């Protein structure tokens, strides 16, 4: 029993070491800031700037070498005391408007801003006109008179259903008594 407990503790220690060993080799970027405002601005900017190489990832989330360089550049500019607008403008000049997740309203970006609104309006109009067309179709449908044969069939079905209902009700009453 003691031998088994010792084996289990050794196994758990080896397992723990295997899982935590990767953390000691993990590369991380650590930035030292003089003030909390600098750190906050750095974090906001790195979430707001898009990695030009990656598919829809901020430079904060990307592991690409270009994103690492951009983070380093943002850090240097923040530490130099440059304003948020200056850093964003610099990145736009260097990488284009695409680099900023909040592109300005210009002729070249107008579709980004107005496209979703246009799609919603078109969808509403399609639904409205579809509903109007269905109303007109329903209004144009007239009821046709039944032929005598059809009336006989319907009356027979109704009579058959009525007879079945009466017989079922009487069977139920007989079972109760």
H helices of 26-147, where? 36-48, 65-79, 84-95, 110-140
Residue 96 has a pLDDT of 84
Considering the domain boundaries, does residue 54 fall inside one? yes
Q: Is the pTM value of this prediction over 0.75?
A: no
pLDDT attached to residue 69: 92
3-state secondary structure of 146: coil
Same domain, 118 and 82: no
Per the structure, the complete domain to which residue 44 belongs is given by 30-104
Mean pLDDT for the stretch of residues 151-173: 76
Residues 98 and 115 in one domain: no
* Residues with Cβ within 8 Å of residue 62, at least 6 apart in sequence: 51, 53, 54
- Residue 28: the pLDDT is 59
CA distance 159 to 44: 78
How many alpha carbons lie under 13 Å from residue 101 in its C-beta half-sphere?
14
Tell how far CA 34 is from the center of its chain.
37
| 34 and 99 belong to one structural domain | yes
Residue 169 has pLDDT above 90, yes or no: no
84 with 55, same domain: the answer is yes
Q: Are residues 92 and 133 in the same domain?
A: no
- Both tokens of residue 60? 């904060």
Tell me the two tokens of residue 17. 């070491």
pLDDT for res 177: 56
Cα–Cα separations (whole angstroms), residue 124 to 32, 67, 94, 108, 117 = 52, 41, 41, 26, 11
The tens digit of pLDDT for each residue in 88-139 reads: 999 989 988 788 877 667 777 778 778 889 999 999 999 988 888 777 666 6
**Looking at residue 83, which CATH number applies to its domain?**
1.10.8.640
Beta bridge partners of 127: none
- The pLDDT assigned to 9 comes to 81
Q: Which residues pair with 100 in a beta bridge?
A: 49
Residue 80 sits in the same domain as residue 131: no
Q: How many domains does the chain have?
A: 2
Confidence of residue 14 (pLDDT cuts 50, 70, 90): confident
Whether residue 150 has pLDDT greater than 90: no
Spatial separation of the C-alpha atoms in residues 61 and 50, rounded to whole Å: 9
User: Confidence class of residue 45 from pLDDT cuts 50, 70 and 90?
Assistant: very high
pLDDT in tens, 16-32: 777 776 655 545 577 88
* β-bridge partners, 49: 100
- Is residue 11 a part of any domain in this protein? no
pLDDT, tens digit (0-9, with 9 covering 90-100), for 52-79 = 888 788 888 888 899 899 999 999 999 9
Please state, in angstroms and rounded to a whole number, the distance separating the CA atoms of residues 101 and 59: 11
Among residues 104, 98, 101, 94, the alpha carbon closest in space to that of 58 is found at: 101
Cα–Cα distance between 84 and 91 in angstroms, integer?
11
Q: What single string gives the DSSP state of each residue in 98-109?
A: GGBSS---STTT
């Amino acid at each position: 029993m003691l031998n088994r407990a010792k084996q289990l503790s050794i196994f758990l220690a080896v397992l723990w070491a295997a899982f935590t060993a990767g953390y000691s080799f993990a590369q991380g970027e650590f930035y030292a800031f003089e003030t909390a405002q600098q750190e906050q601005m750095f974090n906001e900017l790195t979430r707001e700037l898009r990695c030009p190489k990656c598919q829809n990832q901020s430079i904060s989330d990307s592991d690409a070498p270009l994103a690492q360089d951009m983070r380093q550049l943002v850090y240097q500019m923040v530490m130099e005391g440059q304003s948020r607008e200056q850093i964003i403008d610099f990145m736009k000049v260097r990488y284009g408007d695409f680099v900023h997740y909040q592109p300005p309203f210009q002729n070249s970006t107008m579709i980004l801003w107005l496209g979703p609104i246009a799609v919603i309006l078109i969808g509403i109009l399609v639904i409205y006109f579809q509903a109007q067309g269905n109303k007109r179709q329903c209004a144009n449908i007239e009821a046709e008179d039944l032929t005598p044969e059809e009336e006989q069939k319907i009356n027979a079905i109704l009579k058959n259903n009525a007879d079945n209902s009466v017989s079922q009700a009487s069977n139920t009453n007989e079972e109760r008594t």
